[in-house]
């Protein structure tokens, strides 16, 4: 996805009189990266003002945006994150306005600097180790696989799983087939850490050769470390097998658990 596909210019949204006045002078663009269900807007181009991102959603998406706001507030004590400028919630809608982290996504870096891909993956692994080093006892959020399986089952029975978006390995599978295949990989010994939940290349921002921070933290919580490793490993497969291997080596795992990788990739199909 090139830059023109990632964003398209759009009109501003009316929010409330105070916020509308604060946002006057910004250019607005609709951001098309990600599948969260939220409408995401990039606000930029205002003199002497920071770039911003606005998320808006209704119904269950409003709940997801609220979850992200709560986790942003907590995780800022440990990791570099966007700053919350404004949050509003009604019974059915939510709006979250945050600062932007300057830089390029890890995906853009890997595309734009092919000779530096090894160093980019190393930086991602180091950043992930930093996240996973947060004491579990400090984290108030649970995202372990029994909890996420219950959410996945609810989404499946309510017809909310987008089977057209399944990974190539599961092309033409039904949600039920993925559900059954996933359970053949259980049980496995838990290895709980504080996880991001969607540690993908578009959620990690680079500048000056290092990871400057992460975004989209609405799934942060205690889970097996492979929740993050599996998603990043899968993303790197778009570039090369050697980068996938390098991720585990730099992270410090000499013999990756393929069952855990596959389980977490199948679990992610439901969200």
Contact between residue 82 and residue 98 where contact means Cβ atoms under 8 Å apart? yes
208 is catalytic: no
Q: What is the CATH number of the domain that holds 150?
A: 3.90.1200.10
Q: What is the CATH number of the domain that holds 8?
A: 3.30.200.20
| Residue where a domain terminates, one of 99, 130, 153 | 99
Residues 113, 41 share a domain: no
Residues 128, 53 share a domain: no
pLDDT band of 3, cuts 50, 70, 90: very low
pLDDT at position 6, please? 80
Residues 149, 63 share a domain: no
Question: Does pLDDT of 2 surpass 50?
Answer: no
Cis preceding-peptide flag for 187 (omega within 30 of 0) = yes
pLDDT at position 171, please? 95
Residue among 268, 186, 270 nearest 227 (CA): 268
Looking at 26-35, 173-182, 213-222, which range is the least confident one?
26-35
| Residue where a domain terminates, one of 83, 99, 115 | 99
Tally of domains in the chain: 2
Residues 207, 88 share a domain: no
pLDDT at position 209, please? 87
| Residue where a domain terminates, one of 81, 99, 117 | 99
CA distance 18 to 21: 5
Domain span at residue 49 reads: 3-99
Residues 86, 7 share a domain: yes
User: What confidence tens digit (pLDDT) does each residue in 195-218 have?
Assistant: 999 999 999 999 988 999 999 999
Tokens of residue 64, six digits: 């997801």
pLDDT at position 5, please? 66
- Ranges of beta strands (E only) in the chain are 7-10, 27-31, 39-44, 52-58, 84-89, 93-99, 104-105, 192-195, 204-207, 210-214, 221-224
Choosing from 64, 198, 216, 268, the catalytic residue is: 198
Mean pLDDT across 115-128 = 98
Residues 129, 69 share a domain: no
Most confident of 8-17, 29-38, 116-125: 116-125
Residues 190, 80 share a domain: no
User: What confidence tens digit (pLDDT) does each residue in 253-268 have?
Assistant: 999 999 999 999 999 9
Residues 152, 198 share a domain: yes
Residues 123, 92 share a domain: no
Residues 210, 114 share a domain: yes
Residues 44, 165 share a domain: no
User: What confidence tens digit (pLDDT) does each residue in 30-53 have?
Assistant: 998 765 689 999 999 999 999 999
CA atoms within 13 A on the CB side of 131: 36
């Amino acid at each position: 996805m090139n830059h023109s596909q990632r964003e398209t210019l759009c009109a501003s949204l009316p929010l409330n009189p105070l916020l509308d006045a604060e946002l006057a002078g910004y250019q607005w663009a609709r951001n098309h990266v990600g599948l969260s269900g939220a409408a995401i807007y990039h606000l930029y181009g205002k003199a002497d003002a920071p770039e911003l991102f606005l998320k808006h959603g209704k119904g269950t998406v409003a709940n997801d945006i609220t979850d992200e706001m709560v986790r942003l507030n907590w995780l800022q004590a440990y990791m570099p994150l966007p700053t919350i400028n404004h949050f509003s919630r009604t019974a059915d809608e939510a709006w979250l306005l945050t600062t932007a982290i300057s830089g390029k996504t890890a995906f853009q870096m890997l595309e734009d600097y092919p000779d530096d891909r090894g160093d980019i993956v190393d930086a991602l692994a180091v950043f992930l180790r930093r996240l996973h080093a947060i004491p579990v006892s400090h984290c108030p959020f649970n995202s372990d696989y029994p909890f996420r399986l219950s959410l996945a089952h609810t989404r499946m029975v309510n017809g909310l799983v987008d089977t057209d978006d399944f990974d190539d390995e599961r092309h033409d599978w039904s949600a039920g087939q993925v559900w059954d295949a996933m359970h053949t990989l259980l049980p496995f010994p838990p290895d709980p850490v504080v996880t991001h939940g969607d540690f993908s290349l578009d959620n990690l921002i680079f500048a000056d050769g290092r990871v400057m921070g992460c975004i989209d933290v609405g799934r942060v919580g205690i889970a097996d470390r492979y929740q993050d490793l599996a998603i990043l490993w899968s993303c790197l497969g778009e570039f090369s097998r050697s980068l996938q291997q390098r991720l585990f080596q730099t992270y410090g795992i000499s013999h990756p658990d393929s069952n855990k990788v596959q389980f977490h990739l199948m679990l992610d199909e439901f969200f």
